Structure 1
Amino acid sequence: MADDQEVLARYSRRAGRFADVISGAAPGRWSAPSPCADWNAADVVQHAVDMHAAMFASTPTGLTPAPAASEDPLGAFNSARADIERALRDPAVVGLAVQTPMGPSTFAAHVDTVASADLVIHTWDLARALGLDYSIDPDELEDQWQGAQQIPDIMRQPGAFGPGIVVFGPVVEVSADAPRQDRILGLLGRDPYWT
């Protein structure tokens, strides 16, 4: 299990990439569709913010009030990012026992496996929605490969974790000799060639 400093460093690296993509958006792109069905670019950012808020569900605190992603995508995300980073630096919070849809965890482990890990793929989603070139970091692909091959069926069932919640869509078939990024995206329910 990763120590808390590793969790913070990994989260900060992933959040930095996500924020960089937000910053790279051309004016007027926030209503553009994304590879995630029914979401536009701003919705991808709002989902990331909502996942950050969910990390605090079993704690006495929550996210600092901030604008919605539809109004200020970078401000909304950076506010949520600052709250997570602050919590991951707080010894009283990182080891806090929390309840999650997948069972008991610690705050730090929950952030690491959900909100932080989520940013890896959603950075690609957001870049595609914004019309930006983006390749997932090779080290992240290596880390994601094993888990992407072992997604339980329940994670693909709409509503299994609550009304309206879809964790992963159906597998998108990709050639066995396609690049690893494309194969991972397919396993996570994305069309790697989406434009």
Structure 2
Amino acid sequence: MSSPAQQHAQDAARFTDLVESASAEDWRRPSPVAEWAAVDVVKHLVEWSRGFLKGAGIDLPALDVDADPAEAWRRHVTDIQAIVDDPAGRILSNPHLGELPVDAAIDQFYTSDVWMHSWDLAKALGREPELGEQRCAAALAGMAPIEQMLRDSGQFGAAVAVADDAPAQDRLMAFIGRDPAWRP
């Protein structure tokens, strides 16, 4: 099992590779998330997490993702990695989650979001993502029992029908409301 710092470094590196491979024109490409272009995937990860961290007393400066998505992402990854590398005993307090060590909160909510949204960005860029069958199966097993709560949160779209024997990655993406066969 990886530490929060190791997991973030791994998942952020995969996402960074995608970001670095994008051309200026690629940022306008549609993504599998309704009404989002590729740049919006990056913007989502940067903006919500910076707001989320205010619950730990961490006030990171806003980044202009639209002006330079790759530069904003690189700065953001550096900021988040510094926090998980040295959480300094900080506790994140959130009215919906209670109190959690900041590195655990980042790992549970943000790093997993980076991992799953790497699928969206890869698809938007015309690439085939590979999230890992075991990790996808484990994530799906953890989410299935709380499906109604997840759906009620508004964070996921309606489930997409896929075969019961579809690969775990396809079943996970379908569970969170993505069409595994989506193409730009």
Partner of 1:155: 150
Which residue identity lines up with residue 161 of structure 2 in the other structure? E
Residue 90 of structure 1, CA deviation: 2.1
Partner of 1:42: 39
- Provide the secondary structure at the position in 1 that maps to 2:115: helix
1:57 paired to 2:45? no
Alignment partners' CA distance in 2, 1:148 and 1:24 = 31
Q: Is the 8 A contact 2:39 2:69 kept in 1?
A: yes
Alignment partners' CA distance in 2, 1:97 and 1:29 = 35
Closer, same or farther: CA 89–188 of 1 in aligned 2, 3 Å: same
Partner of 2:88: 92
Closer, same or farther: CA 188–72 of 1 in aligned 2, 3 Å: same
1:130 paired to 2:88? no
Larger RCO, structure (CA 8 Å, separation 6 or more): 2
1:192 paired to 2:157? no
Alignment partners' CA distance in 2, 1:190 and 1:91 = 33
Residue 154 of structure 1, CA deviation: 3.3
Residue 193 of structure 1, CA deviation: 0.5
Q: Is the 8 A contact 2:137 2:169 kept in 1?
A: no
Alignment partners' CA distance in 1, 2:130 and 2:88 = 36
In the superposition, the TM-score normalised over structure 1's length comes to 0.85
Partner of 1:163: none
Percentage identity across aligned positions? Answer: 31
Q: Is the 8 A contact 2:42 2:65 kept in 1?
A: yes
Alignment partners' CA distance in 1, 2:141 and 2:102 = 23
Q: Is the 8 A contact 1:52 1:84 kept in 2?
A: no
Closer, same or farther: CA 109–100 of 1 in aligned 2, 3 Å: farther
1:26 paired to 2:23? yes
Alignment partners' CA distance in 2, 1:32 and 1:49 = 19
Which residue identity lines up with residue 84 of structure 2 in the other structure? L
Alignment partners' CA distance in 1, 2:135 and 2:51 = 23
Partner of 1:146: 141
Partner of 2:71: 75
Partner of 1:107: 102
For structure 2, list consecutive stretches of 5 or more residues without a partner in the other structure.
Answer: none
Q: Is the 8 A contact 1:120 1:140 kept in 2?
A: no
Closer, same or farther: CA 18–50 of 1 in aligned 2, 3 Å: same
For structure 1, list consecutive stretches of 5 or more residues without a partner in the other structure.
Answer: 161-165
Which residue identity lines up with residue 165 of structure 2 in the other structure? D
Which residue identity lines up with residue 81 of structure 2 in the other structure? E
Residue 140 of structure 1, CA deviation: 2.5
Over the aligned positions, Cα root-mean-square deviation in angstroms equals 1.9
Residue 191 of structure 1, CA deviation: 0.6
Partner of 2:10: 13
Q: Is the 8 A contact 1:17 1:123 kept in 2?
A: yes
Write the deviation string for residues 48-104 of structure 1: whole angstroms up to 9, x where unpaired.
1023203312123222443x22221111112111111111122424x4242253332
Report the number of matched residues. Answer: 183
Closer, same or farther: CA 17–100 of 1 in aligned 2, 3 Å: farther
Structure with the higher fraction of residues in helix conformation: 2
